Amino acid sequence: MTRFDWGPKPNLETVTGYPGPKEKDFIVIAGPCSIEDREQVRSVCREISKRGVTFMRGGVYRAGTYPPNPQDFGLRLDLLYAWYGISKEYGLKIIVEVLDIRQLEKIASIANAIQIGARHMQDYALLKEVSQLDMPVTLKRHPGSNVNEFLGAAEYLCQGKCRPILVERGSSTFMDHVRWDLCVSLISEIKIKTKLPIIVDASHGSGRRELVEPLTLSGIAAGSDGFMVEVHPNPEQSLSDARQAYPLQNFCHLYGRARELWQLKRNWEEAC
């Protein structure tokens, strides 16, 4: 039987040769799906600043599966500046998603890190521009991509000056008990193949808040260097993705359990 090999063979020289971060850090990214108003931002900042959060996340670019009202579409600079100011009061750094290459310079002048969302994982022109920034960049896996396609996108980032962090956030599958199906095995495979840091996003990786804690811990047990989570003061009233919004008041508990497991796993690795 004839064997067909579709597309080019993987070229991952820069990714596989990437030296990795100088120190192993516990990476935590937390915040609401959408930045809604000052009160919400202050509530989230107050709570997550009690723990060692690496970056506060939040959406200020209104764009989704279906178009919003025309007046709501696009980058909300008013919310971005408000978020930036309040987060500084609490000593938090922010990570902002870039959807439009034309907004990159403006966002990079405010943000402490850049997020490349799943929908832009293979926007190679954007990846090439972002790679030239001297800052951390998270790259979320598209739900329809495999390991090599994910690492191929990471190859663009590794060829520049940025400091990439991969994010596993689930696949589109036949499973109907979750919105997306978190691929824990992919985390272990990435750690075997590369020294790139990778974190688990169980909020998007399931679409269900009650699965966030067990899946976060599963990802860390598989080798994740930390986690991303969507938190909200009133999850049911979240402007977007309410079903997966994790209760803000439970964040410190989640952080404590996840860090304890990460430290335990790190101790095992150092002892071997």
Determine the average pLDDT of the residues in 219-247: 95
Contact (Cβ atoms closer than 8 angstroms) between residue 232 and residue 238: yes
Q: Residue 148's pLDDT is what?
A: 95
The answer to whether position 60 is within a domain reads yes
The answer to whether position 3 is within a domain reads no
The count of C-alpha atoms lying within 13 angstroms of the C-alpha of 271, restricted to the half-sphere facing its C-beta, is 6
- The secondary element (H helix, E strand) that includes residue 236 is none
Tell me the residue range of the domain where 150 lies. 24-271
CATH code of 198's domain:
3.20.20.70
Q: Based on the structure, what is the number of domains in the chain? A: 1
Work out whether the CA dihedral 97, 102, 107, 113 comes out positive or negative: positive
- Per residue in 19-61, pLDDT (tens digit) is 988 888 999 999 999 999 999 999 999 999 999 999 999 988 7
The answer to whether position 162 is within a domain reads yes
Residue 101, number of CB atoms within 10 A of its CB: 15
**Residue 66 burial by Cβ neighbours in a 10 Å radius (0-12, 13-18, 19+):** exposed
pTM of the full structure: 0.94
The answer to whether position 45 is within a domain reads yes
The answer to whether position 56 is within a domain reads yes
CA distance 223 to 211: 19
The answer to whether position 6 is within a domain reads no
- Per residue in 176-214, pLDDT (tens digit) is 999 999 999 999 999 999 999 999 999 999 999 999 999
Q: Is the pLDDT of residue 143 over 70?
A: yes
Adjacent-strand bridge partners of 95: 57, 113
Q: Which two tokens stand for residue 54?
A: 């690496």
The answer to whether position 111 is within a domain reads yes
The answer to whether position 8 is within a domain reads no
